[in-house]
């Protein structure tokens, strides 16, 4: 991000374009102006990353994990919108303006997608705008069924089975897919057969308070846009996720 903060005139012109003539309450106007004062302290000579995704549990832990990995680089500053403003108790206009101001002036955007509902679906659509598209990377969970996950232990295999089931695979199809994905060495470390792994995954899915939904054709179309530019990093298990984070274009060199 540039070291010089954008001027008030530039900020307000951008806000006017964002709102597109939408009338906001006086309370929203006050909150937006307070945010712009805070926002002007955000610009930094570091390489900035705006991390997007679901704030629901357990998805938000992935966002924090991504920001933490990026912030381990000396000249990188990664943050969530909640780090600079309350993203859960604001009105539509305030949140909308905050998102677009941050997205407009950061160097990079990274979005984690794990399900098909919530505000991140709209944000994914926004990332295809010209202003944001070229600096954005998207990390969708189980975007394709040809992923080769890295299974470190049996819990990873169970998680892989859960994802396959949630993506619409039948029990038999999930077991068949695991036959392809799990190496002989990994299979020897399992306590039971793959059919038992799938059964355990089904049990966990029934008792879990979250799942991974299959993506719509519209979302697949958005993912294809990013994949065509080499900026789609799909993943399946948590070890895959952090491997994908490692593929983001982060430099340890000071920004020029």
pLDDT given at position 149:
72
Residue 38 and residue 84 in contact, taking contact as beta carbons nearer than 8 Å: yes
pLDDT for the residue 11: 66
**Angle value at C-alpha 95, between 214 and 29, nearest 5 degrees:** 160
- DSSP codes of every residue in 152-210: -SHHHHHHHHHHHHHTT--HHHHHHHHHHHS-HHHHHTSSS-HHHHHHHHHHHHHH-S-
Q: How many CB atoms lie within 10 A of CB 88?
A: 9
Ramachandran quadrant class, 20 (left: phi over 0; alpha: psi -120 to 50; beta: rest): left
> What's the whole-model pTM score?
0.75
Express each pLDDT in 147-195 by its tens digit: 667 787 888 888 888 888 877 788 999 899 888 888 888 888 888 899 9
pLDDT recorded at residue 101: 80
Which of the 8 DSSP states describes residue 6?
P
Which phi and psi (to 5°) does residue 5 adopt? Answer: -70, 145
Residue 242 in tokens: 């952090």
One DSSP character per residue, 26-84 reads: HHHHHHHHHHHHHHTT---SSEEEEEES--STTHHHHHHHHHHHHHTSTTEEEEEHHHH
Compute the distance between CA of residue 14 and CA of residue 8 in angstroms, rounded to an integer.
10
Single out the residue of 125, 169, 122 nearest to residue 147, CA to CA. Answer: 169
User: What does each C-alpha distance from 204 to 166, 180, 212 come to in angstroms?
Assistant: 11, 22, 13
Average pLDDT value over all residues in the chain: 80
Torsions phi, psi for 240 (to 5 deg): -60, -40
Nearest alpha-carbon partner for 237 in 169, 148, 121: 148
CA distance 78 to 80: 7
Instruction: Decide: 219 and 9 in contact? Cβ < 8 Å.
Output: no
**Domains in the chain: ranges and CATH:** 8-143+215-245 (3.40.50), 154-207 (no CATH)
Report which of residues 17 and 38 the model is more confident about.
17
Q: Which residue has the higher pLDDT, 64 or 57?
A: 64
| Residues 120/121/124/126 CA torsion (nearest 10 deg) | -100
64-103 pLDDT, tens per residue? 999 999 999 988 999 998 886 553 455 556 677 778 888 8
Per DSSP, the three-state class of 150 is coil
């Amino acid at each position: 991000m540039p070291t010089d903060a954008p001027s008030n005139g530039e900020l307000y012109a951008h806000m006017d374009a964002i709102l597109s003539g939408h009338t906001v309450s006086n309370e929203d106007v006050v909150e937006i102006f307070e945010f712009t004062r805070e926002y002007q302290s955000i610009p930094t000579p570091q390489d900035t990353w705006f991390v997007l995704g679901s704030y629901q549990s357990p998805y938000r832990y992935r966002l924090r994990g991504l920001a933490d990995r990026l912030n381990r680089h000396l000249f990188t500053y990664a943050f969530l919108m909640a780090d600079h403003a309350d993203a859960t108790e604001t009105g539509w206009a305030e949140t909308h303006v905050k998102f677009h101001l941050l997205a407009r002036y950061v160097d990079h955007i990274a979005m984690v997608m794990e399900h098909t509902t919530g505000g991140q679906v709209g944000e994914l659509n926004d990332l295809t705008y010209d202003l944001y598209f070229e600096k954005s990377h998207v990390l969708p969970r189980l975007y394709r069924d040809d992923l080769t996950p890295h299974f470190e232990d049996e819990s990873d295999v169970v998680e892989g089975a859960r994802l396959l089931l949630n993506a619409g695979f039948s029990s038999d199809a999930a077991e068949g897919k695991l036959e392809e994905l799990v190496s002989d060495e990994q299979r020897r470390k399992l306590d039971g057969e793959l059919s038992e792994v799938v059964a355990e995954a089904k049990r966990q899915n029934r008792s879990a308070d979250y799942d991974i939904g299959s993506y719509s054709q519209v979302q697949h179309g958005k993912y294809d846009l990013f994949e065509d530019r080499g900026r789609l990093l799909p993943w399946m298990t948590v070890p895959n996720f952090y491997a994908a984070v490692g593929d983001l274009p982060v430099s340890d060199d000071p920004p020029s």
